[in-house]
Amino acid sequence: MKRDVSDNLTLHTDDYELNMMATYFEKGMQQRRAVFEVYFRKLPFQNGYAVFAGLQHVIEYLEQLHFSAADIEYLAANQDYSAAFLDYLSQFEFHGNIRSVKEGDLVFNNEPILQVEGTIAECQLIETALLNIVNYQTLVATKAARIRSVAGNDPLLEFGSRRAQEVAAAVWGTRAAYIGGFDATSNVLAGKKFGIPISGTHAHSLVEAFGNDYDAFKAYAETHYECVFLVDTFDTLKSGVPTAIRVAQEMGNRINFKGVRIDSGDMAYLSKRVREMLDRAGFPAAKIYASNDLDENTISSLKMQGAKIDTWGVGTKLITAFDQPALGAVYKLVSVENDRGQMIDTIKLSNNAEKVSTPGKKQVWRITEKQDGKSEGDYVALATEHPQDADQLYMFHPQYTYINKTIHDFNAEPLLKDIFIDGQLVYQQPTLLEIKKHAQRVQEQLWPEYKRMLNPQEYPVDFSKKLWDHKMNLITEIHNGQEHKLQ
Ligand SMILES: Nc1ncnc2c1ncn2[C@@H]1O[C@H](COP(=O)(O)OP(=O)(O)OP(=O)(O)O)[C@@H](O)[C@H]1O
Ligand SMILES: O=P(O)(O)OC[C@H]1O[C@H](OP(=O)(O)OP(=O)(O)O)[C@H](O)[C@@H]1O
Ligand SMILES: O=C(O)c1cccnc1
């Protein structure tokens, strides 16, 4: 029996998942095997890649999955479920298989990034939470990677908690931002929970509370060794910076005068003037921190203007994935057992070609050139195929099949790794720092054409011939009126 802890997220599911479970149960189908896959159709922020994040939370979620007595009581009072189904739920445990790409891996549209195989009932229950977690964290990790790509090696601080969509988003979003390339966070809980370095300056309220820059900076300096003074409360150049310098001089080596933070105004102009003032006063090592609605566009523009900013604090636009608040990953049934115990691959048709799902349990292979390790593209194949054993690989675009190539001398790495087998966690989780370094390393393996901020080249996500034929055959069968009868 699992612990009934307050962070039990088992009811964090859509009502319709439980309703479908009830139907499977009442029809005696709840034990049928099924395979679902998670994928998204469009890369976020018009970026050339996405950075996968969320697996750690998925693991934590699955490890606590069970219906508590209070959950069952709630469902009994609010749903039309039979006593037998409620009893089944009270005994429920996750015994399925999860395969997933690793956190920090680069992922692309229209390829499975997470796969769930188990009874149809358990697969259905976890759809909502899995999508919720992976959609958000992958989005934030990708946004962070975009910001990192323009920031060069400058320190990036995550400042978004106050603007995040609630507590869990702030905490897990911070972790995703760290994976994507941020160095530290202002969120102390995220620091404690995940071991992310924490960092903090002070707010305008401190200056307002003391009534003037001097008294505030002096009081701060008398109570802290590490000092970054916020200089824009009244007048950055006339009061804030001269006062920061005065306090730093007065305190001498009783403090480490790390620098000043600018939070408003024309930050290109101000940072240049502030740099001159700090240098002239004998503080060339003092850094200039900037914050105020920053993102990859403003940072890149400020750098182009020659702004003398050393450290960037980024909040709202990162943690809320401001310019694209949803990734749109979906969870689709690709195979299900029929009443004779055979797995039948399934497809969802649509008039919109992009929305037609791809049948069958699959594996994604990252194809890299043996010589330089650079990515050639991803190769989506049926799970039964072994492209790593082939001498050459024919790769073609699944929609525009005339775009194709045959490659030799390649390495093929399976991206979907075993995480849970029969409900048991088998994955050795890397540390967060290892995940972050992995994300950095795999980005280095990507050709710059796929990484540019504006109009990146489309990364090839190709299908194996077998998979493509399988999809086409199923579409033809359905068009000919031969939908599968599973009963
Ligand atoms: N030189 C610059 N080039 C491009 N963008 C800049 C530059 N300086 C500041 N910005 C950005 O322009 C926006 C200006 O913000 P805003 O209109 O709120 O003005 P502000 O000076 O910060 O005033 P407030 O006191 O209301 O914060 C912010 O997103 C900021 O990061
Ligand atoms: O702009 P963001 O990217 O979201 O970064 C976080 C913002 O949060 C703080 O402002 P806020 O006005 O909340 O408080 P303050 O009084 O300390 O400026 C800080 O000064 C940043 O401007
Ligand atoms: O430490 C800071 O400067 C900070 C923290 C949160 C939000 N804005 C700024």
Q: Which CATH number characterizes residue 199's domain?
A: 3.20.20.70
Q: What is the mean pLDDT of residues 192-211?
A: 98
Residue in 292, 302, 312 to alter for ligand 2 test, most ligand atoms within 8 A of Cβ: 292
316 lines ligand 1 (CB under 6 A): no
Q: What is the mean pLDDT of residues 425-453?
A: 96
pLDDT of residue 2 exceeding 90: no
Domain that holds residue 185: 148-320
Share of the chain above pLDDT 70, in %: 97
pLDDT band at 484 (very low <50, low <70, confident <90, very high): low
Residue in 232, 264, 291, 312 to alter for ligand 3 test, most ligand atoms within 8 A of Cβ: 291
Residue 412 has φ and ψ, to the nearest 5°, of -120, 115
Tokens read off for 408? 């030799």
Length of the chain: 487
In a domain, 11, yes or no: no
Tokens read off for 212? 């003037």
Query: Which residue from 447, 461, 445, 465 is spatially nearest to 393, judged by alpha carbons?
Result: 465
Structure-token match 């601080």, residue found: 157
The per-residue pLDDT for 1 is 46
In a domain, 257, yes or no: yes
Side-chain-side CA neighbours of residue 471 (13 Å) = 21
Question: DSSP letter at 36?
Answer: E
Q: Whose CA is nearest to atom 22 of ligand 2?
A: 292
Distance between Cα 292 and ligand 1 center (Å): 7
Beta strands across the sheet bearing 97-100:
343-345, 330-337, 33-39, 114-119, 97-100, 417-421, 424-425
pLDDT band at 423 (very low <50, low <70, confident <90, very high): very high
Structure-token match 């699944």, residue found: 398
The per-residue pLDDT for 12 is 98
Structure-token match 């101000």, residue found: 270
Give strand ranges (E) for 168-253: 184-185, 226-230
Distance between Cα 268 and ligand 2 center (Å): 18
In a domain, 316, yes or no: yes
Pick 448 or 372 by higher pLDDT. Answer: 448
What is the spatial distance between Cα 6 and Cα 9, in angstroms, rounded to a whole number? 8
The per-residue pLDDT for 480 is 87
ipTM: 0.96
In a domain, 242, yes or no: yes
Q: What is the mean pLDDT of residues 352-379?
A: 92
Return the CA Rg of the chain.
Answer: 26
Structure-token match 């087998």, residue found: 421
- pLDDT tens for 247-267 read 999 999 999 999 999 999 999
Distance between Cα 133 and ligand 3 center (Å): 26
Counting ligands in written order, the one closest to the CA of 269 is 1
The per-residue pLDDT for 378 is 97
148-162, 196-210, 301-315, 368-382: which has the minimum mean pLDDT? 368-382
pLDDT band at 373 (very low <50, low <70, confident <90, very high): confident
For residue 379, give the 3-state DSSP assignment: strand
In a domain, 482, yes or no: no
Residue in 147, 159, 314 to alter for ligand 2 test, most ligand atoms within 8 A of Cβ: 159
For ligand 2, what atom is nearest to the CA of residue 314? 3
Alpha-helical segments (H) within 27-114: 55-63, 69-78, 83-91
Neighbours of 211 (CB within 10 A): 9
Tokens read off for 61? 């979620």
Q: Are 38 and 329 in contact (CB under 8 A)?
A: yes
Tokens read off for 303? 């750098």
For ligand 2, what atom is nearest to the CA of residue 295? 3
| Buried/exposed code over 94-121 (b: 16+ C-beta within 10 A; e: otherwise) | bebbbbbbbbbbbbbbbbbbbbbbbbbb
Residue in 161, 183, 186, 310 to alter for ligand 3 test, most ligand atoms within 8 A of Cβ: 186
For ligand 1, what atom is nearest to the CA of residue 232? 25
230 lines ligand 2 (CB under 6 A): no
In a domain, 61, yes or no: no
- pLDDT tens for 122-180 read 999 999 999 999 999 999 999 999 999 999 999 999 999 999 999 999 999 999 999 99
Distance between Cα 293 and ligand 1 center (Å): 7
Distance between Cα 224 and ligand 3 center (Å): 16
Query: Which residue from 138, 142, 93, 143 is spatially nearest to 118, judged by alpha carbons?
Result: 93
Distance between Cα 485 and ligand 3 center (Å): 59
In a domain, 83, yes or no: no
The per-residue pLDDT for 483 is 64
Question: pTM here?
Answer: 0.96
In a domain, 66, yes or no: no
Q: What is the mean pLDDT of residues 42-55?
A: 98
What is the spatial distance between Cα 254 and Cα 82, in angstroms, rounded to a whole number? 71
Domains held by the chain: number? 1
Residue 195 has φ and ψ, to the nearest 5°, of 75, 25
What is the spatial distance between Cα 196 and Cα 432, in angstroms, rounded to a whole number? 8
What is the spatial distance between Cα 119 and Cα 336, in angstroms, rounded to a whole number? 9
The per-residue pLDDT for 479 is 86
What is the spatial distance between Cα 96 and Cα 250, in angstroms, rounded to a whole number? 65
